[in-house]
Amino acid sequence: MKEYEVYSDLRVPVNSKIIIRLDGRSFHSFAKKMEFEKPYDDSFCDVMVKVSKDLFEEFSPIFIYTFSDEISILLDKVPFNGRFEKINSVMASFASSSFTLNYDGEFQKPVAFDSRIIPINDSDIYDYFKWRQDEAWRNCVNGYGIHFLKSKYSSSEANERINGLNLSDIHELLFDNGINLNDVDTWKKRGIGVYRKNKEVVGFNKKESKEQISYRTFIHVDYDLPIFSKGFFNELF
Ligand SMILES: Nc1nc2c(ncn2[C@@H]2O[C@H](COP(=O)(O)OP(=O)(O)OP(=O)(O)O)[C@@H](O)[C@H]2O)c(=O)[nH]1
Ligand SMILES: [Mg+2]
């Protein structure tokens, strides 16, 4: 019967870096049911960060980037010998379990994440994350825009109105109504990064009777990401 497992030979090239992107399934309805704050729910964001940290501890990636209901994981070593089905199913189920363990509310039904694999050249890593960060920004402007319009108009009229506006129109509309996106938390505009950082530790060298500085790495959650540049990624690896 083993021959019926027709996708089991599908492999990711093991000599390249890969990005795995996870995305919450039907989180629009989940957010509605759970009455998440709009446009941003701090406790939901906390859970997504906890899931990202659990993924970081388990799979030791170089970088994790999260906004809204998605998580991108950059790995320099391809896990599970590149077995496509294994990577996608383990990553998605690990994220779903972590979400369930870290979430405080009562579930009406199980949550799920989908997973996709993107083999990536070093030279494309910046472009990938810039693409996702631009999406985080669009999400932010649209999120504040629709939230504002729904406070003034019916849901259908608000949707109609926002469809006729581009990002700078929405920015201006919000500004004219006392909402300055420059004052919004950086993580809402640029997403959140998880990566290793060095910490200076001052110890005492008994033999030489003097203070000694060493470095330890720790997992840093960056709520204050810069707008991504190539330099940001050059420093990570
Ligand atoms: N209220 C609220 N909703 C959020 C927040 N973050 C994410 N969401 C919801 O999650 C959705 C994520 O978008 P998508 O992934 O495109 O939509 P989805 O419903 O998850 O659909 P699939 O991913 O295709 O299954 C957004 O449209 C929002 O409705 C939040 O902080 N507050
Ligand atoms: Mg989703």
Q: Is 85 in the pocket of ligand 1 (CB under 6 A)?
A: no
Query: Does residue 95 lie within any of the structural domains?
Result: yes
Q: Which residues have CB under 8 Å from 32's CB, separation 6+?
A: none
Per-residue pLDDT of the chain (237 residues; tens, 9 = 90+): 999 999 999 999 999 999 999 999 999 999 999 999 999 999 999 999 999 999 999 999 999 999 999 999 999 999 999 999 999 999 999 999 999 999 998 888 999 999 999 999 999 999 999 999 999 999 999 999 999 999 999 999 999 999 999 999 999 999 999 999 999 999 999 999 999 999 888 999 988 899 999 999 999 999 999 999 999 999 988
- Beta-bridged to residue 222, according to DSSP, are 193
DSSP-assigned letter for residue 12: -
Query: Does residue 160 lie within any of the structural domains?
Result: no
**pLDDT computed for residue 237 by the predictor:** 83
Q: Which residues have CB under 8 Å from 165's CB, separation 6+?
A: 145, 173
Query: Does residue 207 lie within any of the structural domains?
Result: no
Q: Is 30 in the pocket of ligand 1 (CB under 6 A)?
A: no
Query: Does residue 88 lie within any of the structural domains?
Result: yes
8 Å CB contact between 95 and 71: yes
**pLDDT computed for residue 3 by the predictor:** 93
Q: Is 23 in the pocket of ligand 1 (CB under 6 A)?
A: yes
Query: Does residue 55 lie within any of the structural domains?
Result: yes
Q: Which residues have CB under 8 Å from 26's CB, separation 6+?
A: none
- The tokens describing 91, both together, are 């990553």
**pLDDT computed for residue 39 by the predictor:** 97
Residue 25 CA to ligand 1 center (angstroms) comes to 8
Q: Is 41 in the pocket of ligand 1 (CB under 6 A)?
A: yes
Query: Does residue 75 lie within any of the structural domains?
Result: yes
8 Å CB contact between 107 and 100: yes
- Beta-bridged to residue 202, according to DSSP, are 213
Q: What is the CATH number of the domain that holds 101?
A: 3.30.70.3000
228: left (phi over 0), alpha (psi -120 to 50) or beta: beta
Residue 27 CA to ligand 2 center (angstroms) comes to 5
Q: Is the pTM of this model over 0.75?
A: yes
Residue 27 CA to ligand 1 center (angstroms) comes to 4
Q: Is 191 in the pocket of ligand 1 (CB under 6 A)?
A: no
**Total domains present in the chain:** 1
Q: Is 113 in the pocket of ligand 1 (CB under 6 A)?
A: no
Query: Does residue 64 lie within any of the structural domains?
Result: yes
Domain that holds residue 16: 2-137+185-190
Residue 30 CA to ligand 2 center (angstroms) comes to 10
Distance of CA 61 to the CA centre of its chain: 13
Query: Does residue 205 lie within any of the structural domains?
Result: no
Residue 28 CA to ligand 2 center (angstroms) comes to 7
Q: Is 34 in the pocket of ligand 1 (CB under 6 A)?
A: no
19 three-class SS:
strand
- Residue 200 CB: number of other CB atoms within 10 A? 8
Q: Which residues have CB under 8 Å from 223's CB, separation 6+?
A: 185, 186, 187, 192
* CA–CA distances in Å: residue 44 to residues 38, 90, 100, 116, 150: 11, 22, 12, 22, 22
